């Protein structure tokens, strides 16, 4: 009973800023917590701003004071919480922020009492003679007015969006070293001191993020590092493991994390407290969902997903509430073996990941309002919903920008959507702009073709003028109205195919759905209509119609060109993407196995070859577009986000089919 | 005498593709080389295409056959020559190219005779149970029809534009392991075999790029790694060191490299043969300049800079020509202590680095032609010269796109420049487009301001419409004419200040001068006029006039606004950039020391504060622009190229002034 009261009061605390309320809550909590005091831990799941030390430090101070006021033994913050993770080269080019984070850390330490705090920070390595990188990724153990000891990260993720080894030196030792080593730790002078920390009579084995991701048994002897910091810590038989993390959400990652943490606590019969960052920093969206497993590997507590929260737990005394995980976070990695169009299980996570990505990008860069073109098509429609939900409907302006090709239905769909969402809406025709631009350009082309004979018989120029005129409108609004960002509405399927216009629909200050393939976008639209507070905000006709850019007329039908005719069926396209990303398949792997699409619609081998070739050709020429895409939220297990996937643009000539040994032999013979 | 003939014949070989010529040259060379045969080495300084294995392999075959035909002991290729460096995530997402490079390697090995070849390749690590990354960065020693042994890179640069640790496992051992270890090398089964390779009775200590950059003595005990592979190799007392590299040019890097290689050969009384990649891959421009130092640390041979070349050397027999280094490659790192406007020493290198960057980006992506706006200003002018020299004047189209603000002088300057360069030229007014767009936008703004009250009293909307209209023309030409890329003309100073229009002048397929600050650009323009074959191609009036975007009228003067008035004097601005990049100074460092500009033009402290604040404010909001900048050549010692400098856009709120301990204390007190 008193446990429920603790959780309830803690939720009240999360939702108030009123000083009297807080004092009141704290005095009640303190009393209720008395029986749980020994071994009590506060999980401070915060949303930091990268590089804004003062902002982050103030949050830390707030939660330390709170923990003291309610008499907790320990309060734990996420990895690098003073800096925000990731901070990338900023710490190298702007060393002032490293100095600042040390200053704040030292001052914060001074206010600590007998509640211990674990605070992540960037530790500069200041020696006359330095071997290695200039910084450690560290956690300070602070209490009784000072820094007691320092833990340094050993395993440095340097893959996907992670770049730790770029600026961080891996710690050669695991666990705590004395405070005297701050800034001058040397592997040669490792202290003969316990790796674990004794706090109020309990022994804690503290590690940082990736340090707990290397259990050889769990990962079937296929791991990225040889050292296992948890195994090292376990040798000291700690009472509790603590892991300070900053781990972004990606598809299929969460069950793995859950299983792994459960495995570790069970294997070593030691509870583990895992504290994760929440909020988005540029392209990475962190889900929070901090949690505690008891010594039998059973989930004891879990914080909310995608929300800041202060959660009180005590692994020894069975204190800790399990908040529901956002649906979609629980899929396992092994489920990725077969392609499926059943996106439903991942849609709530997808929605929340993007909402958080948009909201934090705007808030952390100081933008408030978004403006986007509403074409009546699926991409801009889903973007509009996500923006309205992330920023508030009053802060979104949808502009219908019809050309002469735009159908009446598209216009009315756009307007209906705006009404349903209660976002701002107006119409602005691009006809005049198109005509003027096209006239000017046609004249200009006449001059150019006198000198260059490479004019295409059929070009996409007029399609692109339309897309660029619209972007011109949106950027104009951004220039004219304060704190307003235009939105790039390109989706993942079309970006893979380069089916997006430079300075047109792929231009904007943020690209919300750049990591959502088209078939999933349809599912998301249906999910939105079913699950959002206001149901069916998206007109059914938008979901029902075939996507098309409405930039050109199909000479065969006299109607606007359907995207699938220009590309290939989205179901087929999205399965290619899925196979490349998740199974690293290549051309012949795909040619020689059956696609889901083929099971429903038998196609000839020639057709399949045509689509596969088109895919590879178009993907190669899309590399440049990926490199200039605005920031976007990484959602999927793999993405084309430029901080997540790096391929030289000049490597576009890769022979995706490969050569046989015989072919290679004969090519060599030709030279000899 | 016969040495000179050897060098001359070798140059002839480099410049012919005629089979008879080649046979003739080879038979002569073979005779002449007889006295130098033992210990003779061919340096194959090639320009690979990233990921295009067939293209690279054919070059390798060609030079292996040539080396055999003229009877060399050894032929050496740059690091990862089969793949091209860097290849980044491509090898992970497209594993087929790794399979291909192994297939080619094995087939190439079959054609080898008693001439040994050192060929760089990506080695997949194929085990049931894998610890670490999936690949090694390796060199195969091939001769007598097979792979004899494999050398693996130990030190993995992961800073600036380098990203080796992202996908490569560092080798725990130095030197050669047997061919049987290919694909399955295990540190646990290190072979008791010489680390060095015996080739025709000589012992070679072979290493890969960064492996030779870690001499503790040379670097004053401040190094990135603890292992020194060269020291390990030296223990076996090799006759010659060989280093296979892919090392891009950056300002002030070359003298360091020279001194270091000289130091190593002298310290171990062992000659070193350093073979570098040439050519550009996306943003990195490799200078070649492969070289040999004799056992006394004296330069014995050096290949050309920025050119493919096959250079024959024999460190034992004093065979090896020293080709002149491109001026600018020889500056030392220590020269960066004081800011200077004396750019002259680095201009030839700057010019050639960019020329190669443009040429290779176009060739390797299949583009042929460039189109750019010619404003009569410095940025577009220098770009036009560089493009004409890189692509040929017939492949460049300069478009003068005047608005009503454009002066007659600007128009005639642009035309004169085009005539001098013999590039294509035409004029296309943006007046109509501006008016139409502006009218449409003004109407649209009226609708928007009914809902949003954040309309600026003074905006840059009309400035930006002009810049975007021009980009619309250029991209239209790119859509209409085959293999044509528009050029982004933004320079480094203005990019730092965000003084560039999104979808306007900063938009394009390539940004040639994005790493050249304005004051250096002036110097480059003067250098071009003096040193190019056709002198004074740039009208003096362009160099003389004050830069300005001609997008708006200064109400005070009634004339187009001068950029320096909107920003600050370029001399001052460029020194801020230089101090931040080269000395990691921050706000108060700069406020409290004298700028070169101040020595000439005394300014008040208030003025200085105003400029510094403006710089930091504008730099913070320019982060987004950096992230969507097209590929550009990295030229300077540090750059804002997104593959070289990574800072979260959401970290734009960094407090660049920092806080004192007292300020921090009082801020904490406020919370308590």
pLDDT digits (tens, 9 = 90+) for B461-509: 999 999 999 999 999 999 999 999 999 999 999 999 999 999 999 999 9
CA-based nearest residue to B376, from B506, B499, B514, B543: B543
Looking at residue A550, its pLDDT comes to: 82
What is the model's pLDDT at position B191? 64
Which pLDDT tens digit goes with each residue over B629-655?
A: 999 999 999 999 999 999 999 998 899
* Active-site entry in A153, A253, A321, A352: A153
Residue A269 or B92, more confident? A269
A242 or A192, higher pLDDT: A242
The model's confidence at residue A43, banded by pLDDT at 50, 70 and 90, is very high
Residues contacting B188, CB < 8 A, separation 6+: none
Q: What is the pLDDT of residues A200-243, one digit of tens each?
A: 889 999 999 999 999 999 999 999 999 999 999 999 999 999 99
Residues of B labelled catalytic: 79, 153, 209
Cβ-Cβ contacts under 8 Å, A166 against chain B: 158-159, 646
Q: Which residue of A has its CA nearest to B53?
A: A654
pLDDT at B7 over 90: yes
Cis before A275 (ω within 30): no
- pLDDT for B46: 98
A564 counts as catalytic: no
A507 close to B502: Cβ distance less than 8 angstroms: yes
**Distance from C-alpha of B594 to C-alpha of A651, rounded to nearest angstrom:** 46
Assess whether pLDDT exceeds 90 at residue B565.
Answer: no
Three-class secondary structure of residue B627 per DSSP: helix
Using CA atoms, how far apart are residues A299 and A274, in angstroms rounded to an integer? Answer: 11
The confidence score (pLDDT) of residue B335 equals: 54
Query: What mean pLDDT is predicted for residues B337-342?
Result: 86
What phi and psi values does residue B84 have, to the nearest 5 degrees?
85, 140
Query: Which of A322, A331, A323, A337 is CA-nearest to residue A349?
Result: A331
CA neighbor of A352 nearest in space, from A528, A172, A553: A528
pLDDT beyond 80 at B192: no
pLDDT at residue B561 is higher than 90: no
Alpha carbon of B653: minimum distance to chain A alpha carbons (Å): 6
Angle value at C-alpha A396, between A394 and A398, nearest 5 degrees: 125
Confidence of residue A571 (pLDDT cuts 50, 70, 90): very high
Can you tell me the distance from the alpha carbon of A612 to that of A518, in angstroms, rounded to the nearest whole number? 18
Does residue A523 have a pLDDT over 90?
A: yes
Check whether B336 has a pLDDT greater than 70.
no
At residue B265, the pLDDT reads 97
Facing residue for A456 by CB, picked from B50, B482, B629: B482
Q: Nearest C-alpha of chain B: how many angstroms from A210? A: 14
C-alpha A503/C-alpha A377 separation (Å) is: 19
Nearest by CB: A455 against B159, B480, B584: B480
CB A562 within 8 A of CB A548: yes
The pLDDT assigned to A553 comes to: 86
Task: Count the Cβ atoms, other than its own, within 10 Å of residue A202.
Answer: 18
Quickly list DSSP for B95-127. THHHHHHHHHHHHHHHT--SSEEEEEEEEE---
Beta strands in B403-470 (DSSP E): 424-427
pLDDT at B163 over 90: yes
The residue ranking higher by pLDDT, B75 or B563, is B75
Out of A57, A426, A472, the one facing B437 most closely (by C-beta) is: A472
pLDDT at A330: 67
Residue (of A562, A568, A590, A567) closest to A578 by Cα position: A590
Higher pLDDT, B551 or A337: B551
Q: What is the structure's pLDDT at A203?
A: 94
Q: 3-class SS at A173?
A: coil
Within 10 A of A332 (CB to CB), how many other CB atoms are there? 13
How confident is the model at residue A328, as a pLDDT?
73
The pLDDT, as a whole number, for residue A336 is 57
Q: Which residues of A touch B475 (CB under 8 A)?
A: 464, 468, 502-503
A221-230 confidence digits (pLDDT tens): 999 999 999 9
Q: What is the pLDDT of residue A1?
A: 67
Q: Do A447 and B432 touch (CB under 8 A)?
A: no
CB contacts of B664 in chain A (<8 Å) are: 57, 103-104, 107
**Which tens digit of pLDDT belongs to each residue from A421-445?**
999 999 999 999 999 999 999 999 9
Whether A153 is catalytic is: yes
Q: To the nearest whole percent, how much of chain B has pLDDT over 90?
A: 86
- Name the residue among B62, B424, B580 with its Cβ closest to that of A451: B424
Predicted confidence at residue B39, as pLDDT, reads: 96
Taking residues B594-617, report their average pLDDT: 97
Confidence of residue B331 (pLDDT cuts 50, 70, 90): low
- For residues B301 and B329, the model is more confident at B301
CA B122 to chain centroid, in Å, comes to 22
Task: Tell me the average pLDDT across A652-657.
Answer: 92
A650 versus B256: which is more confidently predicted? Answer: A650
Which of the four pLDDT bands, split at 50, 70 and 90, describes residue A561? confident
Task: Answer yes or no: are the C-beta atoms of B425 and B419 closer than 8 Å.
Answer: yes
Concerning whether A383 is annotated as a catalytic residue, the answer is no
Chain B closest-CA separation from residue A214 CA (Å): 10
Three-state DSSP string of A333-361: HHHHHCCCCCCHHHHHHHHHHHHHHHHHH
Least confident of A331-335, B17-21, B129-133, B376-380: A331-335
Cβ neighbours for A539, distance < 8 A, ≥ 6 positions apart: A413, A416, A417, A420
ipTM confidence score: 0.95
pLDDT > 60? residue B251: yes
pLDDT number for residue A186: 81
Distance from CA of A598 to the nearest CA of B (A): 24
Tokens of A578: 């899925």
pLDDT at B328: 73
Please check the confidence at residue B187 and state whether its pLDDT lies above 80: no
Do A49 and B651 make contact, defined as CB atoms within 8 angstroms?
Answer: yes
Closest to A88 measured CA to CA, from A5, A161, A7? A161
Q: What is the pLDDT of residues A348-376, one digit of tens each?
A: 999 999 999 999 999 999 999 999 999 99
Which residue of A130, A436, A629 is in closest CB contact with B433?
A: A436
**For testing the chain B interface, which of A106, A452, A619, A645 should be mutated: the one with the most B CBs within 10 Å?**
A452
Average pLDDT, chain A: 94
């Amino acid at each position: 009973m008193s446990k429920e009261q603790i959780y309830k009061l803690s939720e009240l605390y999360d939702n108030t800023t009123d000083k009297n309320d807080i004092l009141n809550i704290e005095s009640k909590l303190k009393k209720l917590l008395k029986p749980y005091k020994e071994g009590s831990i506060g999980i401070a799941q915060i949303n930091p701003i990268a590089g804004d030390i003062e902002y982050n430090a103030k949050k830390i101070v707030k939660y330390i004071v709170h923990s003291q006021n309610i008499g907790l033994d320990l309060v734990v913050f996420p990895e690098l919480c003073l800096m925000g993770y990731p901070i990338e080269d900023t710490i190298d080019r702007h060393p002032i922020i490293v100095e600042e984070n040390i200053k704040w850390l030292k001052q914060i330490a001074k206010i600590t009492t007998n509640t211990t705090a674990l605070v992540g920070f960037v530790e500069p390595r200041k020696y006359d003679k330095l071997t290695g990188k200039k910084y450690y990724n560290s956690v300070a153990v602070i209490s009784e007015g000072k820094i007691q000891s320092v833990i340094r990260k050993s395993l440095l993720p340097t893959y996907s969006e992670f770049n730790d080894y770029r600026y961080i030196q891996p710690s050669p030792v695991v666990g705590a070293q004395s405070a005297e080593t701050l800034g001058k730790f040397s592997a040669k002078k490792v202290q003969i001191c316990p790796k674990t920390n004794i706090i109020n009579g309990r022994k804690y084995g503290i590690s940082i993020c990736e340090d707990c991701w290397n259990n050889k048994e769990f990962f079937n002897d296929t791991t990225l590092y040889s050292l296992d910091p948890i195994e090292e810590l376990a040798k000291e038989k700690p009472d509790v493991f603590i892991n300070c993390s900053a781990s972004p959400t990606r598809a299929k990652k969460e069950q793995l994390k859950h299983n792994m943490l459960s495995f570790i606590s069970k294997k070593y019969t030691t509870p583990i407290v895992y504290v994760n960052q929440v909020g988005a920093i540029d392209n990475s969206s962190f889900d929070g969902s901090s949690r505690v497993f008891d010594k039998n590997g059973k989930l004891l507590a879990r914080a909310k997903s995608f929300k800041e929260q202060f959660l009180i737990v005590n692994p020894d005394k069975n204190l800790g509430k399990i908040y529901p995980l956002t649906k979609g976070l629980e899929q396992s990695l092994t489920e990725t073996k077969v392609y499926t169009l059943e996106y439903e299980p991942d849609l709530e996570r997808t929605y929340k990941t993007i909402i958080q990505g948009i909201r934090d990008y705007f808030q952390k860069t100081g933008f408030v309002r978004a403006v986007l073109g509403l074409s009546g098509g699926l991409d801009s429609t889903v973007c509009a919903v996500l923006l309205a939900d992330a920023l508030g409907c009053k802060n979104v302006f949808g502009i219908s920008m019809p050309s002469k090709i735009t159908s009446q239905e598209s216009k009315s769909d756009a307007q209906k959507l705006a009404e349903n969402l209660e976002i701002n809406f107006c119409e602005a025709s691009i006809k005049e702009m198109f005509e003027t631009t096209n006239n000017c350009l046609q004249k200009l082309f006449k001059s150019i073709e006198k000198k260059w004979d490479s004019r295409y018989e059929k070009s996409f120029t007029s399609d692109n003028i339309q897309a660029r005129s619209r972007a011109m409108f949106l950027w104009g609004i951004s220039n004219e109205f304060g704190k307003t960002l235009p939105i790039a509405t390109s989706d993942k399927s079309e970006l893979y195919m380069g089916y997006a216009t430079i300075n047109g629909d792929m231009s904007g200050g943020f690209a919300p759905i750049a990591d959502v393939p088209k078939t999933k976008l349809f599912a998301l639209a249906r999910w939105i209509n079913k699950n959002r507070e206001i149901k069916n905000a998206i007109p059914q006709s938008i979901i029902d119609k075939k996507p098309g850019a409405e930039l050109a007329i199909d000479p065969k039908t006299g109607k606007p060109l359907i995207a699938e005719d220009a590309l290939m069926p989205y179901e087929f396209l999205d399965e290619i993407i899925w196979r490349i990303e998740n199974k690293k398949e290549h051309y012949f792997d795909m040619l020689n196995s059956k696609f889901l699409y083929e099971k429903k619609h038998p196609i000839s081998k020639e057709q399949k070859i045509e689509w596969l070739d088109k895919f590879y050709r178009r993907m190669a020429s899309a590399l440049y577009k990926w490199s200039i895409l605005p920031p976007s939220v990484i959602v999927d297990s793999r993405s084309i986000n430029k901080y997540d996937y790096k391929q030289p643009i000049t490597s576009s000539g890769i022979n995706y089919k490969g050569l046989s040994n015989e072919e290679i032999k004969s090519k060599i013979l030709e030279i000899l």
